[in-house]
Amino acid sequence: MKKGTVVVLSGASSVGKAEIRDLLLKDDDLKLFYSISETTRPKKEDEVDGRDYYFVSHEAFANSVKNKELLEYTEFNGYYYGTPKAQIDYLVNLGKNVLIEVEAQGVGSIKLNMPEAIAFYVMPTSFEELEKHIIDRYGDDEASIQRRLNKAKMDMEIAPLFRNVVYNDDPEKAYQQIKTKVLKEMEKKD
């Protein structure tokens, strides 16, 4: 049986990854399954465990790290986030295509474990535009805005390491660019 394709989507906070992700997941040609991450942060009111994230304790997360059960993991705002390896392996071995959305620094770890994964970094049209989106989204929480802006600067510095950088001046256009590249890679596997 042919293995599935792993697509990795990354980019700074508020760059528009969610809109692009949703377009990719709805695309019948790509047939992507969404990888659900583990997190130690508390569940928000509208979130569902096992749909949005797997909400786990710090101890359970530490055990996942210790037992090498995560493809990658990171910390942000005092909470940990990680991609469960078994879930990805299971789907890929069934021939399913998987979309993983991660922080930029997590992509290296995924590529070490799955060199065939196709990684995309979503870039803003400008840092000023991204700053505006972050301020609009996080409003009066100045500390959160600053953390996100600082992290965005760091992430954008490593973006050139990605083979596939997509500028998000239009989510539909960015999605089409990603789809074209992914379909081309999938054809090579046939």
23: in domain: yes
Percent of the chain with pLDDT over 70: 99
The per-residue pLDDT for range 59-74, each reduced to its tens digit, is 999 999 999 999 999 9
53: in domain: yes
184 vs 104, which has greater pLDDT? 184
CA–CA separation, 51 and 47 (whole Å): 8
Half-sphere exposure of 23 (CA within 13 A, CB side): 16
The pLDDT score that the predictor gives to residue 142 is: 84
* C-alpha torsion sign, points 168, 38, 72, 128: positive
102: in domain: yes
13: in domain: yes
1: in domain: no
Q: What is the CATH number of the domain that holds 157?
A: 3.40.50.300
How does the average pLDDT of the chain come out, rounded? 91
Residue 20 identity: I
The pLDDT score that the predictor gives to residue 66 is: 97
The pLDDT score that the predictor gives to residue 138 is: 78
For the entire predicted model, the pTM comes to: 0.88
The pLDDT score that the predictor gives to residue 22 is: 96
30: in domain: yes
Look up the domain containing 43 and give its range: 6-189
Which residue in the block uniquely carries the two structure tokens 């009111």? 45
pLDDT at 190 over 80: no
Core vs surface per residue 143-175: b (16+ CB within 10 A) or e? eebebbbebbeebbeeeeebebebebeebeebb
Specify the DSSP class assigned to residue 139: T
The pLDDT score that the predictor gives to residue 144 is: 81
Q: How far apart are the first and last CA of the chain?
A: 11
The pLDDT score that the predictor gives to residue 70 is: 96
54: in domain: yes
pLDDT at 159 over 80: no
Which residue in the block uniquely carries the two structure tokens 């996080």? 138
The per-residue pLDDT for range 84-109, each reduced to its tens digit, is 999 999 999 999 999 999 988 888 89
* C-alpha torsion sign, points 159, 133, 55, 93: negative
32: in domain: yes
pLDDT level of residue 129 (50, 70, 90 thresholds): confident
The least confident of 22-26, 73-77, 133-137 is 133-137
Specify the DSSP class assigned to residue 97: E
For the chain, the domain total comes to 1
The per-residue pLDDT for range 7-22, each reduced to its tens digit, is 999 988 788 899 999 9
Specify the DSSP class assigned to residue 159: G
